[in-house]
Structure 1
Amino acid sequence: MSALSRLTAIETRLFFREPMVVFFTVAFPPILLVILGAIPAFRRPDETLGGLRVIDLYAPIVVAMGLALFALNGLSQILAAYRERGVLRRMRTTPVRPGLMLGAQLLMSTILSVGTMLVVLAIGRLAFDVRLPRQLPAYLLGYVLAALAMFAIGLLVASLAPTGKSAGAIGTLLFFPTVFLAGLWVPRASMNDVLRTISDLSPLGAGVQSLQDATAGHWPQLLHVAVMLGWTIVAGGLAARYFRWE
């Protein structure tokens, strides 16, 4: 195994030793989908939504929410805590450089978030007859772009937060408006024009619409692709500029 693979395996074992983090990042999105699907009104077609059901709209929203949980409440807090405890500083004296730790964290978060996405899609399909993406390559593209944008924001939080607790607090503050604009409380189809425009310019709002478009058989709109790439470049650039290993 390569050093990256070994470190990723170690970090994954350490991650699963934190039951609360595991619950909210891995288990909570599928549970939330089950709760929403259990509401009878959410399983009935709605003419105001173009004949779709509310649960059809919420499946990609829950997938996007899982990304936000990993980026803002997992990745950022773990890296900030490692820097606070001097883990990254001590790693600089070993053959395993801190950059490898960053790569391992990103790889672990990506693998686990993809696993969560697959579970959400499977539950939606098997339990509530939510259709699978008609345009699978477009769905994967939208998911990857949304993941890149959110992980870049998570790294920016980790770079600016002085401690693990402050990273958790900042991540929580960012989480709620981010998932609100993604449509968690008010689906994008029910938003007014102003709120939907703001949502279009947010990383998860653009991500959710791209996933919904792919589910319907369309490719992501150029606006949403540009928005997600813009967040990735800006947040990633700032994270690289201000990230400190100690």
Structure 2
Amino acid sequence: MPTTTLTSTSPASGSPSIAVLRCETRLFLREPGSLFWILVFPTVLMTILGLVPSFRQPDDALGGRRVIDLYVPVAVLLAMIMAGLQAMPPVLTGYRERGILRRMSTTPVRPSALLTAQIALHGAAALGSAVLVVAVGRIAFDVRLPGQPVGYLLALLLATASVLSLGAMVSALSATTKVSAAVGSVVYLAMMFTAGVWVPVQAMRGTLRRIVQCTPFGAASQALDRAASGGWPSWTHLGVMALWTALLAAAATRWFRWE
């Protein structure tokens, strides 16, 4: 995905952190590739799957639910994975590779303000995509709105936090944009599997399902599905996401290099 380049900020813009956020927002909105993959692609994929007639029929193996019902949470997670692993790491490593973070350290704008802005922007884009997926699923395929909205929102926030922490760790371990793209792609494919993009987690059996549920996105898929069905997400699944977020954030903080 294309990366952006930080432009200078004016003291008249107010708080340095706010100025950085405004600047990064303008640059982010100018990247049609990132916006497409985060905001549009998950909904397009869900729509294509929803047009398959058999996916709109109740399946006894899925407890009477339809395949499309299971793919709404999957599409929500796909947007988060795209934001955290494909869009954000190349931007951060690009800033480091070109010395932008090092030069910022000599100005009133701290490099941490840039990191915070990137996390906020990609997190907001992922959550916006989630709203679009749920809305299209409801309007086009009569997928029920989350029966437990508070639990659904909590699971969404934890899933977003975990993927952004994972993206920050990829950025921390990658010296260049090429390395971050390669590492991010490998992790991206693994997380797509655990999120249930190819096979819904609910359709997995035995040991495989237990292993997948120990990953942040396997747990997120289960938590979102549970909340969508009207129940409170399992505290085990919420705890798995919270634990992964804490571990990944700590690792990213420990290894992240500004220059």
Aligned to 1:54: 67
For residues 7-156 of structure 1, what are the structure 2 equivalents within 5 Å? 7-156=20-169
Could you say what the CA RMSD is over the residues aligned between the two structures, in angstroms?
1.2
Identity within the alignment, %: 43
Aligned partner (choices 213, 218, 238) of residue 205 of structure 1: 218
Which SS does the other structure have where 1:217 is aligned?
coil
Task: Name stretches of at least 5 consecutive residues in structure 2 with no aligned partner.
Answer: 1-13
Instruction: Using the TM superposition, give the Cα deviation of residue 217 of structure 1 relative to its aligned residue in structure 2, in angstroms.
Output: 1.1
Partner Cα distance (1:16, 1:228) in 2: 29
Query: What is the CA-CA distance between 1:19 and the residue it aligns to?
Result: 2.6
Q: Structure 1: any 5+ residue segments left out of the alignment?
A: none
Q: What is the CA-CA distance between 1:20 and the residue it aligns to? A: 2.3
Q: 1:220 aligns with which of 213, 233, 236?
A: 233
Output the CA distance in 2 between the equivalents of 1:194 and 1:204.
17
Equivalent residue in structure 1 for 2:185, among 172, 175, 180: 172
| Alignment-mate amino acid for residue 136 of structure 1 | P
Does the alignment pair 1:161 with 2:174? yes
Q: CA deviation at 1:5?
A: 3.5
TM-score normalised by length of structure 2: 0.92
The one-letter amino acid paired with 1:223 is T
Q: Which residue type is aligned with residue 109 of structure 2?
A: V
Query: How far off its partner does 1:11 sit?
Result: 1.2
Q: Distance in 2 between matches of 1:5 and 1:42?
A: 46
TM-score, length-scaled by structure 1: 0.96
Q: Which segment is superposed worse, 150-159 or 8-17?
A: 8-17
Q: Offset at 1:16?
A: 2.8
Q: Does 1:188 align with 2:205?
A: no
CA drift at 1:2: 4.5
Could you tell me whether the CA contact under 8 Å between 2:83 and 2:126 is conserved in 1? yes
**Partner deviation per Cα, 1:111-137 (whole Å, 9 max, x = no partner):** 111111111011000000011101111
* Partners of 2:80 and 2:49 in 1: CA distance: 19
Is the CA contact 1:46–1:53 (under 8 Å) kept in the aligned structure 2?
A: yes
Whole-angstrom CA distance in 1 between matches of 2:32 and 2:175: 24
CA distance in 2, matches of 1:193, 1:45: 23
The answer to whether the 8 Å contact 2:74/2:195 transfers is: yes
Counterpart amino acid of 1:197?
R
Distance 2:76 2:137 in 1: 11
Q: CA deviation at 1:193?
A: 1.1
